[in-house]
Protein backbone atom coordinates (compact mmCIF):
# COMPACT_ATOMS: atom_id res chain seq x y z
CA UNK A 1 0.00 0.00 0.00
CA UNK A 2 1.01 3.62 -0.42
CA UNK A 3 2.99 5.03 2.48
CA UNK A 4 4.36 8.45 3.39
CA UNK A 5 6.99 8.88 6.09
CA UNK A 6 8.07 12.05 7.82
CA UNK A 7 10.42 12.24 10.77
CA UNK A 8 8.24 11.98 13.85
CA UNK A 9 10.87 13.52 16.10
CA UNK A 10 10.70 17.27 16.56
CA UNK A 11 13.44 19.25 14.87
CA UNK A 12 15.00 21.74 17.27
CA UNK A 13 17.02 24.40 15.54
CA UNK A 14 18.66 27.66 16.42
CA UNK A 15 17.45 30.88 14.89
CA UNK A 16 19.27 31.75 11.69
CA UNK A 17 20.14 28.14 10.82
CA UNK A 18 18.61 26.07 8.03
CA UNK A 19 15.99 23.49 8.92
CA UNK A 20 15.75 20.48 6.60
CA UNK A 21 12.77 18.16 6.68
CA UNK A 22 12.36 14.87 4.85
CA UNK A 23 9.36 13.26 3.21
CA UNK A 24 9.82 9.70 1.94
CA UNK A 25 7.21 7.70 0.10
CA UNK A 26 6.78 4.15 -1.12
CA UNK A 27 4.51 2.44 -3.64
CA UNK A 28 3.78 5.80 -5.21
CA UNK A 29 4.38 7.52 -8.48
CA UNK A 30 2.93 10.92 -7.64
CA UNK A 31 2.82 13.68 -10.18
CA UNK A 32 2.64 16.34 -7.47
CA UNK A 33 3.91 16.86 -3.98
CA UNK A 34 2.79 19.61 -1.62
CA UNK A 35 4.05 21.03 1.65
CA UNK A 36 1.79 22.57 4.28
CA UNK A 37 2.33 24.36 7.56
CA UNK A 38 0.07 23.64 10.53
CA UNK A 39 -0.02 25.62 13.75
CA UNK A 40 -1.53 24.09 16.92
CA UNK A 41 -5.32 23.99 16.80
CA UNK A 42 -5.44 25.35 13.25
CA UNK A 43 -5.98 23.94 9.79
CA UNK A 44 -2.98 23.39 7.51
CA UNK A 45 -1.89 26.20 5.23
CA UNK A 46 -0.54 25.49 1.76
CA UNK A 47 3.10 26.50 1.22
CA UNK A 48 4.53 24.98 -1.94
CA UNK A 49 3.75 22.53 -4.71
CA UNK A 50 6.36 20.78 -6.82
CA UNK A 51 5.73 18.70 -9.92
CA UNK A 52 7.46 15.45 -10.82
CA UNK A 53 9.39 17.12 -13.64
CA UNK A 54 10.68 19.86 -11.32
CA UNK A 55 13.79 19.22 -9.27
CA UNK A 56 13.56 22.29 -7.08
CA UNK A 57 11.11 25.01 -6.12
CA UNK A 58 11.68 28.13 -4.07
CA UNK A 59 9.47 30.60 -2.30
CA UNK A 60 11.13 33.29 -0.23
CA UNK A 61 13.10 31.40 2.48
CA UNK A 62 11.59 28.04 1.57
CA UNK A 63 13.05 25.50 -0.81
CA UNK A 64 11.63 22.14 -1.84
CA UNK A 65 13.31 19.38 -3.83
CA UNK A 66 11.67 16.35 -5.38
CA UNK A 67 13.68 13.25 -6.29
CA UNK A 68 11.39 10.72 -7.95
CA UNK A 69 14.23 8.19 -8.16
CA UNK A 70 14.87 8.26 -4.41
CA UNK A 71 11.14 8.77 -3.78
CA UNK A 72 11.97 11.64 -1.50
CA UNK A 73 11.28 15.33 -1.03
CA UNK A 74 13.36 17.68 1.10
CA UNK A 75 11.94 20.88 2.58
CA UNK A 76 14.35 23.57 3.66
CA UNK A 77 13.71 26.67 5.76
CA UNK A 78 16.69 28.97 5.45
CA UNK A 79 17.53 31.71 7.96
CA UNK A 80 14.95 30.18 10.30
CA UNK A 81 13.02 32.38 12.70
CA UNK A 82 11.03 31.59 15.86
CA UNK A 83 7.89 32.37 13.83
CA UNK A 84 8.71 29.36 11.66
CA UNK A 85 7.97 27.06 14.60
CA UNK A 86 5.10 24.82 13.50
CA UNK A 87 4.38 21.35 12.17
CA UNK A 88 5.10 20.81 8.49
CA UNK A 89 3.17 18.25 6.49
CA UNK A 90 3.92 16.79 3.10
CA UNK A 91 1.12 15.58 0.87
CA UNK A 92 1.27 13.47 -2.27
CA UNK A 93 -1.24 13.01 -5.00
CA UNK A 94 -2.73 9.62 -4.19
CA UNK A 95 -3.92 8.73 -7.68
CA UNK A 96 -3.74 9.98 -11.20
CA UNK A 97 -7.46 10.80 -11.18
CA UNK A 98 -8.22 14.22 -12.46
CA UNK A 99 -9.91 15.65 -9.41
CA UNK A 100 -7.01 15.74 -6.98
CA UNK A 101 -6.88 13.41 -4.03
CA UNK A 102 -3.93 13.71 -1.68
CA UNK A 103 -2.54 11.62 1.13
CA UNK A 104 -0.76 13.39 4.00
CA UNK A 105 2.24 12.47 6.07
CA UNK A 106 2.04 12.71 9.87
CA UNK A 107 4.16 15.87 9.85
CA UNK A 108 7.38 17.01 11.51
CA UNK A 109 7.38 19.61 14.25
CA UNK A 110 9.96 22.37 13.93
CA UNK A 111 10.99 24.40 16.98
CA UNK A 112 13.18 27.43 16.32
CA UNK A 113 14.82 28.89 19.41
CA UNK A 114 16.24 32.43 19.59
CA UNK B 1 -11.78 36.23 -2.07
CA UNK B 2 -12.62 32.73 -0.99
CA UNK B 3 -13.51 31.83 2.57
CA UNK B 4 -14.25 28.53 4.24
CA UNK B 5 -16.30 28.25 7.42
CA UNK B 6 -16.72 25.39 9.84
CA UNK B 7 -18.91 25.11 12.88
CA UNK B 8 -18.99 24.49 15.65
CA UNK B 9 -15.40 25.19 16.65
CA UNK B 10 -15.53 22.78 19.59
CA UNK B 11 -17.98 20.07 20.56
CA UNK B 12 -18.29 17.67 23.46
CA UNK B 13 -20.74 14.85 22.88
CA UNK B 14 -21.58 11.65 24.80
CA UNK B 15 -21.09 8.24 23.24
CA UNK B 16 -24.12 7.21 21.23
CA UNK B 17 -25.29 10.73 20.48
CA UNK B 18 -25.70 12.06 16.91
CA UNK B 19 -23.31 14.42 15.17
CA UNK B 20 -23.63 17.11 12.56
CA UNK B 21 -20.69 19.25 11.45
CA UNK B 22 -21.14 21.83 8.75
CA UNK B 23 -18.74 23.38 6.28
CA UNK B 24 -19.47 26.14 3.80
CA UNK B 25 -17.29 27.79 1.19
CA UNK B 26 -17.74 31.32 -0.13
CA UNK B 27 -16.33 33.02 -3.18
CA UNK B 28 -16.01 30.04 -5.48
CA UNK B 29 -18.24 27.65 -7.35
CA UNK B 30 -18.15 23.93 -8.05
CA UNK B 31 -15.28 23.22 -5.65
CA UNK B 32 -14.03 19.79 -4.67
CA UNK B 33 -14.79 19.35 -0.99
CA UNK B 34 -13.07 17.15 1.57
CA UNK B 35 -13.52 16.01 5.16
CA UNK B 36 -10.41 15.01 7.08
CA UNK B 37 -9.88 13.82 10.64
CA UNK B 38 -6.70 14.36 12.60
CA UNK B 39 -6.06 12.41 15.77
CA UNK B 40 -3.70 13.92 18.33
CA UNK B 41 -0.13 13.88 17.00
CA UNK B 42 -1.18 12.18 13.81
CA UNK B 43 -1.52 13.09 10.17
CA UNK B 44 -4.67 13.89 8.27
CA UNK B 45 -6.96 11.01 7.43
CA UNK B 46 -9.21 11.58 4.43
CA UNK B 47 -12.76 10.60 5.33
CA UNK B 48 -14.91 11.80 2.43
CA UNK B 49 -14.56 13.79 -0.74
CA UNK B 50 -17.07 15.27 -3.14
CA UNK B 51 -16.78 16.50 -6.70
CA UNK B 52 -20.34 17.81 -6.92
CA UNK B 53 -23.78 18.06 -5.35
CA UNK B 54 -24.90 14.68 -4.10
CA UNK B 55 -21.62 13.03 -5.15
CA UNK B 56 -19.83 11.60 -2.12
CA UNK B 57 -16.97 9.14 -1.99
CA UNK B 58 -16.04 7.44 1.26
CA UNK B 59 -12.44 6.60 2.01
CA UNK B 60 -12.68 4.82 5.33
CA UNK B 61 -15.50 2.49 6.47
CA UNK B 62 -16.89 3.89 9.70
CA UNK B 63 -20.03 5.13 11.36
CA UNK B 64 -19.74 8.55 9.74
CA UNK B 65 -21.49 9.82 6.64
CA UNK B 66 -21.30 12.95 4.53
CA UNK B 67 -23.70 14.88 2.38
CA UNK B 68 -23.45 17.76 -0.05
CA UNK B 69 -26.91 19.30 -0.34
CA UNK B 70 -25.66 22.47 -2.03
CA UNK B 71 -22.68 23.30 -4.21
CA UNK B 72 -20.72 24.95 -1.41
CA UNK B 73 -22.04 23.09 1.62
CA UNK B 74 -20.58 19.90 3.02
CA UNK B 75 -21.99 18.14 6.08
CA UNK B 76 -20.44 15.39 8.20
CA UNK B 77 -22.86 13.30 10.25
CA UNK B 78 -23.14 10.35 12.55
CA UNK B 79 -26.16 8.64 14.05
CA UNK B 80 -24.25 7.28 17.04
CA UNK B 81 -20.84 8.55 18.07
CA UNK B 82 -18.08 6.26 19.30
CA UNK B 83 -15.18 7.19 21.58
CA UNK B 84 -12.86 6.64 18.62
CA UNK B 85 -14.62 9.45 16.73
CA UNK B 86 -12.86 12.03 18.91
CA UNK B 87 -10.46 14.20 16.97
CA UNK B 88 -9.92 17.35 15.00
CA UNK B 89 -12.18 17.51 11.95
CA UNK B 90 -11.10 19.61 9.03
CA UNK B 91 -12.99 20.61 5.93
CA UNK B 92 -11.06 21.61 2.83
CA UNK B 93 -11.73 22.66 -0.74
CA UNK B 94 -9.83 22.79 -3.99
CA UNK B 95 -10.51 24.77 -7.11
CA UNK B 96 -10.69 22.41 -10.05
CA UNK B 97 -10.51 25.38 -12.38
CA UNK B 98 -6.88 25.77 -11.29
CA UNK B 99 -5.99 22.68 -13.26
CA UNK B 100 -3.79 20.08 -11.64
CA UNK B 101 -2.32 22.29 -8.93
CA UNK B 102 -5.01 21.32 -6.43
CA UNK B 103 -3.91 23.52 -3.59
CA UNK B 104 -6.09 22.61 -0.67
CA UNK B 105 -7.61 25.34 1.46
CA UNK B 106 -8.56 24.26 4.95
CA UNK B 107 -11.16 25.53 7.34
CA UNK B 108 -10.47 26.34 11.00
CA UNK B 109 -11.53 22.88 12.14
CA UNK B 110 -13.86 21.40 14.75
CA UNK B 111 -12.44 19.83 17.89
CA UNK B 112 -14.73 16.91 18.78
CA UNK B 113 -14.48 15.15 22.12
CA UNK B 114 -16.66 12.09 22.64
CA UNK B 115 -17.12 11.26 26.34
User: CA angle at residue A109 from A33 to A59, to 5 degrees?
Assistant: 45
Residue B101 has pLDDT above 90, yes or no: no
Percent of chain B with pLDDT over 70: 94
Residue in chain A nearest B59 by alpha carbon: A101
Across A18-22, B52-56, B85-89, least confident range: B52-56
The pLDDT-based confidence of A103 (bands split at 50, 70, 90) is confident
φ/ψ region of B96 (left if φ > 0, alpha if ψ in -120 to 50, else beta) reads alpha
- What is the 3-state secondary structure of chain A? CCEEEECCCCEEEECCCCEEEEEEEECCCCCEEEEEEECCCCCCEEEEEEECCCCEEEECCEEEEEECCCCEEEEEECCCCHHHCEEEEEEEECCCCCCCCEEECCCEEEEEEC
Distances from the Cα of A85 to the Cα of A88, A113, B35, B65, B92, angstroms: 9, 9, 26, 35, 23
Count Cβ atoms below 10 Å from residue A21 Cβ, excluding itself: 22
B103 touches chain A (CB under 8 A): yes
pLDDT at site A99? 58
pLDDT, tens digit, 9 for 90 and up, residues A35-80:
999 999 999 999 999 988 898 999 999 999 999 899 999 999 999 9
State the average pLDDT over residues B40-63: 87
Cβ contact B104–A31 (<8 Å): no
Q: Give CA–CA dist A15/B1, Å, rounded.
A: 34
B52 touches chain A (CB under 8 A): no
Q: Give CA–CA dist B109/B88, Å, rounded.
A: 6
Mean pLDDT of chain A: 91
In Å, how far is A18's CA from the nearest CA of chain B? Answer: 24
Cβ contact B43–A45 (<8 Å): no
The pLDDT-based confidence of B114 (bands split at 50, 70, 90) is very high
pLDDT, tens digit, 9 for 90 and up, residues A81-96:
999 999 999 998 766 5
The pLDDT-based confidence of A100 (bands split at 50, 70, 90) is low
Cβ contact B100–A31 (<8 Å): yes
B106 touches chain A (CB under 8 A): yes
Residue A110 pairs in a beta bridge with: A11, A86
State the average pLDDT over residues A22-31: 87
For strand A32-38 and strand B64-70, is the pairing parallel, antiparallel, or unpaired? Answer: unpaired
The pLDDT-based confidence of B98 (bands split at 50, 70, 90) is low
Asked if residue A91 lies in contact with residue A34, where contact means CB atoms within 8 angstroms, the answer is: yes
Q: Which residue has the higher pLDDT, B110 or A98?
A: B110
Residue in chain A nearest B49 by alpha carbon: A101
State the average pLDDT over residues B100-111: 86
State the average pLDDT over residues B81-87: 94
Amino acid sequence: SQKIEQNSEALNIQEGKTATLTCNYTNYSPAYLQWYRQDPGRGPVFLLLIRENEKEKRKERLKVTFDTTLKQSLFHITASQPADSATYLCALEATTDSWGKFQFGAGTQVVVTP
Amino acid sequence: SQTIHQWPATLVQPVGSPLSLECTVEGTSNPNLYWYRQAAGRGLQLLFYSVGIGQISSEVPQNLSASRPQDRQFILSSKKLLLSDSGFYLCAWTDRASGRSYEQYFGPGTRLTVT
